[in-house]
Amino acid sequence: QVQLVESGGGLVQAGGSLRLSCAASGSIFSINVMAWYRQAPGKQRELVAGITSGGRPNYVDSVKGRFTISRDGAKNTVYLQMNSLKPEDTAVYYCNAHGIYQRGTYYSGDYWGQGTQVTVSS
């Protein structure tokens, strides 16, 4: 069974930094796209950043220049370095994996982590 385990969330003051990690497990050979989403209370879930298997990143406009997404060499772990955090960044952050190869098979859908809370105080 594929599982995504997130870590690194917490409470930080405005202007501070956090680094989120997400490790995928479950006999994974490769992952097509990994991404971070977030959802604030009363808001729709939004894509924050994504990174392809080739290492190409993209970001929502509100975090460009502040957040950096990256993957490890095995491409089963994704990170989100968050700098210059703002109160509006407060949300539950979810790791997402889109398209996973396992034992010669490919699942083209999405896997989700459990979410990790990021709270940025004023």
For residues 52-60, average pLDDT: 95
Rounded Cα distance, 36 and 62, in Å: 14
- Quote the DSSP letter at residue 64: T
DSSP labels, 7-58: E--EEEETT--EEEEEEEESS--EEEEEEEEEE-TTS--EEEEEEETT--EE
pLDDT of residue 27: 86
> Does position 75 have pLDDT exceeding 80, yes or no?
no
pLDDT of 4-24, one tens digit each?
Answer: 999 999 999 999 999 999 999
pLDDT of residue 73: 64
The percentage of the chain sitting over the pLDDT mark of 70, rounded to a whole number, equals 98
pLDDT of residue 3: 94
What confidence tier does 103 reach under pLDDT thresholds 50, 70, 90?
confident
